[in-house]
Amino acid sequence: MIRIAIAGAAGRMGRNLVQAVDEHSEAILGAASERPGSEALGQTVGREGTVRMVEDLTRVVDDFDVLIDFTSPESTMTHLELCRAGGKGLVVGTTGLDAEQEERLRVAGESLAIVYAPNMSVGVNLTFKLVELAARALGDSVDVEILEAHHRHKVDAPSGTALKLGRIVAETLGRDLEHDAVYGREGQTGARDRRTIGFATVRGGDIVGEHTTLFAGDGERVEITHKASSRTVFASGAVRAAVWLAGAGSGLFDMQDVLGLREL
């Protein structure tokens, strides 16, 4: 049985993660944390109601094997160091990490088992593979646009999933996303450069997450869309990753590794 810790266990995503752990036959909740000052500190969570939420996971580091973190970039880096010191596995679903923080994950992966993915949904990760296949087949004959929509509370844009879709297209077509990405358009923009990869962002209401990659050619277009109606799909995928990670050696992995899609 894999003992899992949940960071931010009282939040929207944290509650779903706790439920997903409780429902998994090979996992058990070992520890849970909340931010300093949270009213949830000291409350118990989990199937047995015996796991008390703490402010500092170093107090309970012996109670878990893998930590799942969907918090903030700063908190994730703190938890990374905790896992390195304690030899614990780490599943990171936090978005908005900058290049330096992603490099820290890569370096830590030389001695630690980490799964880092902007989206833990099984369906989204299948979508990543389909977008790669479409980009490979359609090549430079189409314009590529990525549209995403999320709830009003999401603080980063474009979403990590949208950026991942853009990177997949860019890498498949031999482009540089840093140079070729266009984030929104306004005014007299001129004719579209086919090498660009466009992003459009919507924020509103309680939209859980929607992503469409549009391949628009002359006379036809291909749209690959994933829509999530519940956060449970992300939580279930993260717990699946944590259980898989417990049997893996050191390395920086993603959900393509967890699901065995990389070889396809």
- Strands 221-228 and 209-216 turn out to be antiparallel
Res. 31 pLDDT band, cuts 50 70 90:
very high
Query: Model confidence over 225-239: pLDDT tens digits?
Result: 999 999 899 999 999
Q: Which two tokens stand for residue 35?
A: 């931010």
Instruction: Identify the pLDDT of residue 180.
Output: 97
Buried b (16+ CB within 10 A) or exposed e, 45-73: bbeeeebebbeebeebbeebbbbbbbbbb
**Mean pLDDT over all residues of the chain?**
94
Share of the chain residues as helix, strand and coil, in percent rounded to the nearest 5: 40, 25, 35
Q: Which two tokens stand for residue 184?
A: 């929104």
Query: Model confidence over 109-159: pLDDT tens digits?
Result: 999 999 999 789 999 999 999 999 999 999 999 999 999 999 999 999 999
Angle between the N-to-C axes of helices 12-23 and 232-245, in degrees from 0 to 180, rounded to the nearest 10: 60
Domain ranges of the chain: 2-120+231-259, 122-228
| This prediction's pTM | 0.80
| Residues recorded for the chain | 264
**Cis omega (within 30 of 0) for bond into 118:** no
Cα–Cα distance measured from residue 186 to residue 202, given in angstroms and rounded to the nearest whole number = 15
**122-228: what CATH class?**
alpha beta
**2-120+231-259: what CATH class?**
alpha beta
- 98 residue type, one letter: D
Q: Active-site positions?
A: 150, 154
Query: Model confidence over 150-205: pLDDT tens digits?
Result: 999 999 999 989 999 999 999 999 999 999 999 989 999 999 999 999 999 999 99
Buried b (16+ CB within 10 A) or exposed e, 199-236: bbbeeeeebbbbbbbbbeeeeeeeebebebeebbbbbb
Cα–Cα distance measured from residue 16 to residue 235, given in angstroms and rounded to the nearest whole number = 6
CB proximity list for 85: less than 8 A, separation 6 or greater: none
Do residues 29 and 22 touch, judged by C-beta distance below 8 A? yes
CA distance readout (Å), 95 to 185, 213, 233, 239, 249: 24, 19, 16, 17, 24
